[in-house]
């Protein structure tokens, strides 16, 4: 059983003049090649964009989820500071959830300044500095 319209026309010989079957087959093959070229181009472009974003995307995009979790931790630290008049000694003191204690780290630098960071490998970490109130892709240390 022939399912494609062009092939059905050829098989049944409906309204085709001699030699016209060959033209129909050529058009069908050409349209198939065109579709394959378009699909190949779109696949290559998509892979290229994903590869580029993986290598060169801004850290705020790559680590968006972790930064959002880190901002929640910063809010808890600030809430602790308002309630107790000092910085917490650890993340557990600031009521940070247990699931985050293994991913995020905290260091009090002074009575007013602290650092929160995630990740311990170069290129896979970001640090929040309370002095600048911003996340940075660099390893920041207390003075």
Q: Which single residue is written with the structure tokens 């959830």? A: 97
Confidence (pLDDT) at 7: 57
Using N-to-C axis directions, what is the helix angle for 20-56 and 5-12, rounded to 10°? 160
How confident is the model over 89-120, as pLDDT tens digits? 999 888 888 777 788 999 999 988 999 999 86
Sorted by sequence, the CB contacts under 8 Å of residue 128 that are 6+ apart come out as 70, 71, 74, 115, 116, 117, 134, 135, 136
Q: Which of residues 125 and 68 earns the better pLDDT score? A: 68
- Scored b (16 or more CB within 10 A) or e, 66-99 reads bbebbeebbebbeebbeeeeebbeebeebebeee
User: What's the burial of 59, exposed, middle or buried (CB within 10 Å: 0-12/13-18/19+)?
Assistant: middle
How confident is the model over 69-85, as pLDDT tens digits? 999 999 999 999 999 99
> How much is the pTM?
0.61
User: End-to-end distance of the chain based on CA atoms, in angstroms?
Assistant: 80
Q: Where are the domains of the chain?
A: 5-56, 59-136
Confidence of residue 40 (pLDDT cuts 50, 70, 90): confident
Laid out side by side, the sheet with 104-108 consists of 104-108, 114-118, 126-129, 134-136
Confidence (pLDDT) at 86: 93
Confidence (pLDDT) at 69: 92
């Amino acid at each position: 059983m022939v399912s494609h319209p062009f092939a059905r026309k050829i098989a049944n010989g409906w309204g085709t003049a001699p030699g016209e079957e060959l033209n129909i087959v050529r058009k069908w093959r050409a349209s198939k090649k065109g579709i394959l070229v378009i699909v190949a181009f779109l696949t290559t472009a998509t892979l290229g964009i994903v590869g580029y974003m993986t290598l060169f995307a801004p850290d705020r995009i790559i680590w968006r989820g972790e930064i959002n979790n880190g901002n929640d931790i910063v809010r808890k630290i600030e809430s602790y500071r308002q309630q107790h008049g000092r910085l917490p000694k650890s993340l557990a003191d600031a009521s940070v959830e247990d699931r985050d204690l293994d991913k995020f780290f905290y260091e009090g630098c002074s009575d007013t300044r602290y650092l929160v960071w995630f990740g311990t490998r170069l290129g896979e970490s970001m640090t929040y500095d309370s002095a600048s109130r911003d996340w940075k892709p660099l390893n920041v240390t207390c003075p």
